[in-house]
Structure 1
Amino acid sequence: MTPDGRLRLHLQRTLDGSCPVVFRELTEPRELARWWGPDGFTIPSVESDLRPGGAYRIAMQPPEGDLFHLVGEYIEVEPPVGLSYTFRWEDPDPEDRETVVTLSLHDIDTARSELVLDQGDFATERRRALHEEGWSQSLGKLGELLAAPLD
C-alpha cells in the first residue's frame, strides 16, 4: 500500500538482454506467449495492436479449469524503454477492477537491463497479492528465457 492508501504493485528485475531485446519479449505476441502467465499456464493466443489506443487480448489456459482472457488498451508505447496499458479480465472477479500497468526499461550495461513494473490501483489487497504472485512467476520465466544460451 502506498502512503496515500492506494493498493499498488511495484516490482524490479534485472534481466539478461539489452532494452531492445527485452522490449521485444514484452511486446511481440509469439515471444510473449513463451513466458506470460503464472507457472503451469499456457498461452494459446495473443492478439496485439501495439500502438497508443490499440487493443490487446491474451488467452490464458490454467493447468486445470477453463480458458479465460486478459484484455486492455495500450496507453503509451515507447520502444525500447517504456510501455503502459490497461489491464482487465473478461468476466472479472467481483473484487477486480481495471488497472494500469507501466513497464520501464533501463540499460545496466550492454548485456543487461532493469525492468521496473508498476500496476494499480487494486480494489483489494487479495487481488494485489494475486497479481504480485502472477507477475513474479511470469518475470521469473522471462528471466530464465533470456538467460538461456541461444541454440
Structure 2
Amino acid sequence: MSATDDFSYTLTRTLDAPTGTVWQAWTTPDQYARWAYAAPGSVEMDVRPGGAWKATMVTPDGGRFPLTGSYLQVDEDRLLVVGMDVPGKPEPSAMTVELDGDGPRTRIVIRQMCDTTEERDMAEQGSTMLLDSLTAFLAEGTTD
C-alpha cells in the first residue's frame, strides 16, 4: 500500500511566542524533554541535515519507549523536517514542522504522511498532544 493524501494530516496553531523561542523549544534537548513527554536526560539532538536525534518517550501510564531518527531538512527558525525510524520500514517517517513568525507570535504547521488510516490517526493524536504541551510550556515562559 502506498501513502496517499488520504493518510496525511496537517495541524496548524498560532503560538504566543516568537519563532526563535519556538525553534529553541523544538531543538534544545533540555527544553524538548520538558514539554514533549521525554524522559529527563534521554534527549540527544544533532540539529543539522543528516544529524541524528533520540529520545525515550514516557507514556501517561509510565511506560517508556525509545525513538530515534534524523533531521532531513533544517532551516533555522523556519523549517524542521524530522525523520523518525519505524521498525520494519526501510525509510523513516517524516514529520514537517514549519514556523512563520508574526512579531511576538508564531504560526506552526505540522504535516505528516502515513501509510494507513490507523497510523495517521495515531500520529495526528500524538502531534495534537505535543502541540497542546508545547503551548502550555511556552505560556509558562520557562524556556531558559
Q: TM range, normalised to the smaller chain?
A: 0.7 to 0.9
The answer for the alignment partner of 1:102 in structure 2 is 96
2:44–2:53 contact (8 Å) kept in structure 1 = yes
Gaps of 5+ in 1: none
In the alignment, is the contact (CA less than 8 A) between 2:69 and 2:82 conserved in 1?
Answer: yes
Alignment partner of 1:10 is 2:10: yes
CA drift of 1:126 comes to 0.9
Post-superposition CA distance 1:13-71 (Å, at most 9, x none): 1111111110000110001001114xxxx423101111111100111122336421111
Aligned mates of 1:64, 1:104 — CA distance in 2 = 31
In structure 1, distance between residues paired with 2:84 and 2:100 = 23
Q: Determine whether 1:135 maps to 2:127.
A: yes
Alignment match of 1:43 (pick from 31, 39, 42): 39
**Number of equivalenced pairs:** 138
User: Which structure has more helix as a fraction of its residues?
Assistant: 2
Q: Which structure 2 residue ranges, 5 or more long, are not aligned?
A: none
TM-score, normalised via structure 1 length: 0.81
Equivalent residues in 2 for 1:34-113 (5 A)?
34-37=34-37, 42-44=38-40, 45-64=42-61, 66-89=63-86, 92=87, 98-108=92-102, 110-113=103-106
CA contact (8 A) 1:36 1:43 kept: no
SS in 2 for 1:106: strand
Aligned-partner Cα distance in 2 for 1:9–1:56 = 23
Partner SS for 1:51: coil
Change (3 A) 1:53 1:149: closer
Q: How does 1:121-132 map to 2 (within 5 A)?
A: 122-132=114-124
Structure 1 runs of 4+ with >4 Å offset = none
- Tell me, in whole angstroms, the C-alpha distance in 2 between the residues paired with 1:148 and 1:58: 23
Structure 1: how far apart are the matches of 2:17 and 2:58? 28
Q: Percent identity?
A: 33
1:5 CA displacement: 4.5
